[in-house]
Amino acid sequence: MARRPLPRILSNGGARLARSRELARTAADSAGDVLQPLITIARGLRRLAAAGRRRWTGTPKDRRGGVLFLAASVVLVVALVPYGPLLAVISLMAAAAWQGRDRTPPAPKGPDDAQTERLRSLYEALVPYFSLAEDPEPLYAHGGAWEKAFPAYEFDDTGRFAHLVIRYPAYFTDGEAEPRARIEHLLAAKSGRGREYRFSWNEEANHLSVDVLAALPTDIAAQRFVTAPGETVLGFTDPTGVQRTLPLTHGEERRDVPPVVWRTGIRSTEPHLLVLGQPGTGTSTLLRSVALQALHHGDLLIVDGGGTGEYACLTGRDGVLAVECGLTGALTSLEWAAHETERRLISVNRARQEGRPVPDDTKRPLWVFLDRPSAFAHLAAADGRRDPQSLLQVPLRHGRAANVTMVVADQLDALDILSDAVRQHTRARVVLGPATADELTAVLGAPPRTTPVDQVPPGRGYARLGAGPVHRLQVPATPDPYDDATSDAHRQAVLDLLPPRTTPADGERAPVPVEAEAEKISTKKQTAPAESEPGTAGADPEPTPFVGEAASASPAPVPAKAVAAETS
Ligand SMILES: Nc1ncnc2c1ncn2[C@@H]1O[C@H](COP(=O)(O)OP(=O)(O)OP(=O)(O)O)[C@@H](O)[C@H]1O
């Protein structure tokens, strides 16, 4: 499959370059075909000359005179005989052509004994699944011919299958998930555990292709990815799964890797993301990676139910509106996000109705990250307060039109605790870490076409964007730079991506009068409108952020608090 290089701006130039390369390759191939006899003769002459030189150096010095005399006599005779020189040239050319012929030994045809045994045993294992007693001409029968069943196969250096095509009878129920799963399970077991396989069922031709997948790269560190605004790299996948590659740096080395790119914004069909995984599989790391990319073009609000300070490095950074890890702060921030979405929506609609361009204060993307909402749900229930998830309805439902993107992460077993709005509107999905086929199907809406493996590195999983294919995914290493266990290289890579601090963290905050601070932040961010004047609330279609408890909890229109601000 042709790969499209990035950046996009270069795509036309890239296409021209690719066409020129293709032309040059075709010309070289044709020239090679035409010049093949000459090349063979030249190679033969070189070999003859080398052989002559070897012979000459191997001849003892006292016999060299005789050899020279003999050679001179032969030359003389050839020169005197009619057509002698011509015949000599023809003979030399023939000898050179013979010497110059391609001598690479032909690849052994057919499998060796061990490979034959492997193919035969696999064939026998498939007999119960692919045969019927009533079949008069069974493709699969005990002691039958495996050659007809396996039209193509390749082995790797260790003697295990690298590629296999399996024919099966037309009556096999290949349209049903269960019989397919049985075959895939058997093939994975017989072909060697510990590797990942991709199964491609060709229902039209009754063929099944089995391919061994190479491990995804785990050494890619966080970096500035070459993407267009509105594009976010979730991680990296197989080259066959996507049609483009991303140029990456890895220390001194540069390489192109196929990415899983998620598109957000008003034209996105999957405007919100849900990430699920077992504890410790890298969900927070993926959120951090997305947040670092989002910071280039937008503002961020981070609400962390895990409460482990995984986002502390983002606190007070330019573009980060708030990092909240307490219930009150979470409610306040999410309520503000809901109002901000409404405000943007109303503003955009009004501008469109009046035929004006959309106002600038609705254009900058707003990202809301919510890690472990299930933890807040428990806290809120215990405290008799509102579940923060109930505030997500508006950003999730209307966020796309208002340039508001939600990223929600939780543990795999919390799927049932997530609200209907979260489950309905997060059409971009990622599952990280070990998961059963049923769990993957429940979250992604379709099972992956690859076998799960028992041991996966952190950040390994599957991604599905809308109704697209399920991709294998490896998230770039984006660790918490404040974590002692983080390697220096990875820490530095993350620190390099962080924008400068603009708001001091709460602990360092200067005692600014509440009103002055609120006004300052409000002016800077231009996101929340001023509080409605009494009596105008009904007339003003724009909602007022921070009402009730939220308003009393935070006086600023944009919540700007540090992680450790509040832990209740
Ligand atoms: N893509 C990755 N590449 C390398 N290491 C990773 C990756 N993702 C996560 N890790 C490492 O795995 C560990 C757990 O990651 P992380 O905290 O993101 O997981 P989590 O799913 O959020 O866990 P928890 O729910 O316990 O917070 C960390 O040490 C992190 O550095």
- Asked whether residue 308 carries a pLDDT value surpassing 90, the answer given is no
How many A from CA of 17 to the centre of ligand 1? 40
Closest ligand 1 atom to 479 CA:
31
**477 CB within 6 A, ligand 1:** yes
Tokens representing 84 are 């002698």
pLDDT in tens, 187-200: 988 888 778 999 99
Closest residue (by CA) to atom 31 of ligand 1? 479
How many A from CA of 456 to the centre of ligand 1? 12
CA distances from 153 to 1, 228, 296, 484 (A): 21, 41, 48, 48
Query: Is ipTM > 0.85 here?
Result: yes
**278 CB within 6 A, ligand 1:** no
Q: In what order do the strands lie in the sheet with 207-213?
A: 152-155, 161-167, 207-213, 196-202
Tell me 244's DSSP state. Answer: B
Please state, in angstroms and rounded to a whole number, the distance separating the CA atoms of residues 207 and 149: 9
Residue 280 CB neighbours (<10 A): 11
90 Cβ neighbours under 8 A, 6+ residues apart: none
R_g of the chain, CA atoms, integer Å: 34
User: Of 364, 299, 358, 289, nearest to 333 (Cα)?
Assistant: 299
**282 CB within 6 A, ligand 1:** yes
**459 CB within 6 A, ligand 1:** yes
| Residue 7: cis peptide before it, omega within 30 degrees of 0 | yes
**285 CB within 6 A, ligand 1:** yes
Closest ligand 1 atom to 278 CA:
21
How many A from CA of 33 to the centre of ligand 1? 55
**Chain-centre distance for alpha carbon 281:** 16
Q: Which residues are annotated as a binding site?
A: 277-284
The pLDDT value recorded for residue 1 is 45
Q: Which residues of 386-398 are buried (b: 16+ CB within 10 A; e: fewer)?
A: bbbbebbbbbbeb
Helix (H) or strand (E) holding 97: helix 84-99
How many A from CA of 455 to the centre of ligand 1? 15
pLDDT in tens, 208-233: 999 999 889 988 999 999 999 999 99
Tokens representing 207 are 């063929």
How many A from CA of 378 to the centre of ligand 1? 23
**458 CB within 6 A, ligand 1:** yes
Closest residue (by CA) to atom 16 of ligand 1? 282
Q: Coil, strand, or helix at residue 186?
A: helix
The pLDDT value recorded for residue 128 is 94
Least confident of 24-28, 143-147, 241-245, 423-427: 24-28
**Chain-centre distance for alpha carbon 501:** 31
Least confident of 219-223, 338-342, 560-564: 560-564
How many A from CA of 279 to the centre of ligand 1? 8
The pLDDT value recorded for residue 23 is 79
Please state, in angstroms and rounded to a whole number, the distance separating the CA atoms of residues 361 and 527: 6
**283 CB within 6 A, ligand 1:** yes
Q: Which residues are annotated as a binding site for ATP?
A: 277-284
**Mean pLDDT, to the nearest integer, of 304-317?**
91
pLDDT in tens, 365-414: 999 999 999 999 999 999 899 999 999 999 999 999 999 999 999 999 99
The pLDDT value recorded for residue 565 is 39
Closest ligand 1 atom to 281 CA:
21
User: Of 296, 230, 234, 240, nearest to 264 (Cα)?
Assistant: 230
Strand partners, 280: none
**Mean pLDDT, to the nearest integer, of 62-85?**
87
How many A from CA of 284 to the centre of ligand 1? 6
The pLDDT value recorded for residue 442 is 93
Please state, in angstroms and rounded to a whole number, the distance separating the CA atoms of residues 263 and 229: 9
Q: Do residues 488 and 501 make contact, with C-beta atoms less than 8 angstroms apart?
A: no
Residue 500 CB neighbours (<10 A): 7
CATH 3.40.50.300 domain residues, the chain: 231-508
Closest residue (by CA) to atom 22 of ligand 1? 284
Residue 547 — pLDDT band, cuts 50, 70, 90? very low
pLDDT in tens, 416-463: 999 999 999 999 999 999 998 889 999 999 988 888 777 889 999 999
Q: Do residues 360 and 347 make contact, with C-beta atoms less than 8 angstroms apart?
A: no
First to last CA, the chain: 53
Does 231-508 carry CATH code 3.90.1150.10? no
